[in-house]
Amino acid sequence: MAFDPACPRTLDTLTFDNRFTRELPADPQPANFRRQVAQACFSRVQPTPVPRPTLVAYAHEVAQLLDLPAQVCTTPQFAAVFAGNGCLPAMDPHAMCYGGHQFGSWAGQLGDGRAIILGEVVNGRGEHWALQLKGAGPTPYSRSADGLAVLRSSVREFLCSEAMFHLGVPTTRALCLLTTGNDVVRDMFYDGRPRAEPGAIVCRVAPSFTRFGNFELLAARGDHALLKQLLDFTLRTDFAHLGEPSAATYLAWLHEVCVRTATLVVHWQRVGFVHGVMNTDNMSVLGLTIDYGPYGWLEDYNPDWTPNTTDAAGRRYRYGNQPQIAQWNLFQLAEAIFPLIGDVERMQAVLQVYAETFNRGWQTMMAGKLGLQAFDALTDPPLVKELQEVLALTETDMTVFYRRLATVPCAQQLDSTDETLIAPLMDAYYDPQMVSAGHTARMAAWLRLYAERVRVDGTDDDTRRERMNRVNPNFVLRNYLAQQAIDRAEQGDFTLVQHTLEVLRRPYDEQPERQAFAAKRPEWARNRPGCSMLSCSS
């Protein structure tokens, strides 16, 4: 590209407005050592410099949110700043102080142990976007860990953040992914076999990174003055439409967090995303998917599946349990802000909104997945329940299933044999040999009920297919796809990371030349670590 003097090639055009650090109390201790931090919302901390910042990939759409021309993203200055080698003068790097419930138990102070917020960019549309480096070195909240991240987990975070955005799922975004030139030692499965892995940093971007746990920690410490200050700040910045702070506004805020969280989980269930660690410190008050760790994508439809080996015993965060867990987490948030409202009955009434919004949203979502105009509360619950049971009987890929279901003709009376009826679905089965005569009969019976329902709905086959293909993705970040990109990236070849991102930019399209990315999990990936089993160690 020819040099255009009018086009900025530096980061100096970024405008910062660091509201969080300007308006909320800071930890007075400037030194970077692990500690408990009271009466403060954050600690100032500098990223740790790294030897060789190397750009792996960036998302031009996210650069655009910051008014950054794409060509700036490939400059040495960009790599240096987003690997933590020196901040811009207008940045105010800090780590947030928060607590959380981990796996159902109160864990006390946690905080940004390996995340450093550089500052808040304000773009030409007046939007605020906080920039956060993940893996840029220790902070006062690093406890016994190193504050670093490895390439493996960073590729997963970078790709999944953007994949989720393009799927229409609320999420934090990822501006870029860099390697640092450092080795980071990880014991991936806590089995006493640590290995050195390439260190990496992702720059995450969100309107704010405030979590349920920010409020919980202040409440647990009885610091009601700061609790109020943080909530008032959150209202003024991220929820200005709710009006001036008051007990009524706090209730309206809780209401909105319930609605946003319910909406988020409906999306997760729609696309088959399993977060893996729904601790309250990993729940955004903005209803964004946040903290991509040992997450995974449902392959065969199995509501009991969780990718997180750390959760293997209890399976607390399994796919089918995500809606209940989100509700439990909201109860913890409500309890935290109770001192500011003090009205149990009204709070309980607001919390009901979660279940109502989730149930309504889930029904509408299921109707959408089936290509129906609306969910019929009378006829559709048994139809959906039977489908869920049949899908779980034999290993059936959920994503492939719904794309194929869209091609099953329903408009005419279906007088075909069972085998002919289910033929379009065969690609969804992991082992067609396992599709027994009994299964075929049951699936065919369901298809006949479905076709009948579609006819009552009055939707023709073309309209239905189009409708279904807008809510049932063709491409998701299958666990093995992320692993393939990681394997290549660990060899120093970043093209598959970039190519995978490219495919995931249009998840609902057919993209025939890239259909390989829509293939269900190959056999080699069934039990391979990283594909089917992940741990919190990243």
Q: Which residues contact ligand AMP by CB under 6 A?
A: 110-114, 141-142, 145-148, 277, 279, 282, 291, 293, 536
Q: What secondary structure letter does DSSP report for 407?
A: T
- Contact between 157 and Mg ion by CB under 5 A: the answer reads no
Contacts of residues 521-529 at CB distance under 8 Å and 24 or more positions apart, as own/partner, are: 521/299, 521/397, 521/430, 521/478, 521/479, 521/480, 522/480, 524/480, 525/479, 525/480, 525/483, 528/480, 528/483, 529/188, 529/189
Alpha-carbon distance 458 to 339, whole Å? 52
Minimal CB distance residue for ligand AMP: 113
Asked whether the beta carbons of 174 and 206 are under 8 A apart, the reply is no
Which residues are within 8 A (CB) of 376 and not within 5 positions of it... i.e. 6 or more apart?
Answer: none
Cβ proximity to ligand AMP: between 85 and 139 the closer is 139
C-alpha–C-alpha distance, residues 116 and 21, integer Å: 12
Nearest residue to 362 (alpha-carbon basis) of 341, 380, 347, 344? 380
In angstroms, the CA 478 to CA 489 distance is 17
Q: Which span sits near Mg ion by CB under 5 A: 24-32, 101-109, 124-132, 285-293?
A: 285-293
Active site residues: 281
Q: How far apart are CA 286 and CA 284, in angstroms?
A: 5
- Of 145 and 434, which CB lies nearer to ligand AMP in the complex structure? 145
In the complex, least distance from residue 98 CB atom to ligand AMP, rounded to whole angstroms: 8
Q: Choosing among Mg ion, ligand AMP, none, which partner's interface includes residue 147 (Cβ < 5 to 8 Å by kind)?
A: ligand AMP
* Alpha-carbon distances, residue 120 vs 25, 28, 73, 128 (angstroms): 17, 21, 18, 6
Q: Which amino acid is at 452?
A: E
Q: CB 281 → Mg ion: shortest distance, Å?
A: 5
Q: Is 291 in the site for Mg ion (CB under 5 A)?
A: yes
110 is in the binding site of which of Mg ion, ligand AMP, none (Cβ under 5 to 8 A by kind)? ligand AMP
Residue 261 or 363: which CB sits closer to ligand AMP?
A: 261
Tokens of 146: 């190193």
Burial class (CB in 10 A: 0-12, 13-18, 19+), 42: buried
User: Which uninterrupted H or E stretch holds 277?
Assistant: none
For residues 221 and 453, give the distance between their C-alpha atoms in angstroms, rounded to a whole number: 55
Binds 148, which of ligand AMP, Mg ion, none (CB < 5 to 8 A, cut-off by type)? ligand AMP
Q: Which stretch binds Mg ion (CB under 5 A): 33-41, 124-132, 264-272, 274-282?
A: 274-282
Least distance to Mg ion, CB of residue 69, Å: 32
Q: In what order do the strands lie in the sheet with 173-186?
A: 42-44, 94-96, 115-122, 128-134, 195-206, 173-186, 54-58
Closest CA to 513 of 522, 523, 502, 497: 502
Q: By C-beta, is 90 or 536 nearer to ligand AMP?
A: 536
C-beta of 502: minimal distance to ligand AMP in Å? 28
When computed from its CA atoms, the radius of gyration of the chain, rounded to whole angstroms, is 24
Instruction: Identify the burial level of 76 via C-beta atoms within 10 angstroms of its C-beta, where 0-12 means exposed, 13-18 middle and 19 or more buried.
Output: exposed
- Work out how close the CB of 434 gets to ligand AMP at its nearest, in angstroms, rounded to a whole number: 36
Considering only 43, 172, 249, 282, the residue that binds Mg ion (CB under 5 A) is 282
- Which residue, 145 or 349, is less far from ligand AMP as judged by CB? 145
CA distance 99 to 113: 11
Which residue, 136 or 266, has its beta carbon nearer to ligand AMP? Answer: 136
Q: Which residue is nearest to Mg ion (CB)?
A: 291
Q: Are 169 and 268 in contact (CB under 8 A)?
A: yes
Nearer to ligand AMP (CB atom), residue 111 or residue 296:
111
Pairing of strands 128-134, 173-186: unpaired
- Residue 143 or 526 with smaller CB distance to ligand AMP: 143
Which of Mg ion, ligand AMP, none is residue 213 near (CB under 5 to 8 Å by kind)?
A: none
What residue 111 binds from Mg ion, ligand AMP, none (CB within 5 to 8 A, per partner kind)? Answer: ligand AMP
- Give the shortest CB-112-to-ligand AMP separation in angstroms: 5
Q: Which two tokens stand for residue 98?
A: 């928060």
Nearer to Mg ion, 139 or 469 (CB): 139
**Closest distance between ligand AMP and the C-beta of residue 365, in Å?**
27
Provide, rounded to whole angstroms, the least separation between the CB of residue 211 and Mg ion: 8
Backbone angles phi, psi at 372, to 5 degrees: -90, 155
Query: What residue 18 binds from ligand AMP, Mg ion, none (CB within 5 to 8 A, per partner kind)?
Result: none
For residue 5, the minimal CB distance to Mg ion (Å) is 43
End-to-end CA distance of the chain: give it in Å, rounded. 38
**Residues found near Mg ion in the complex (CB under 5 A):** 282, 291
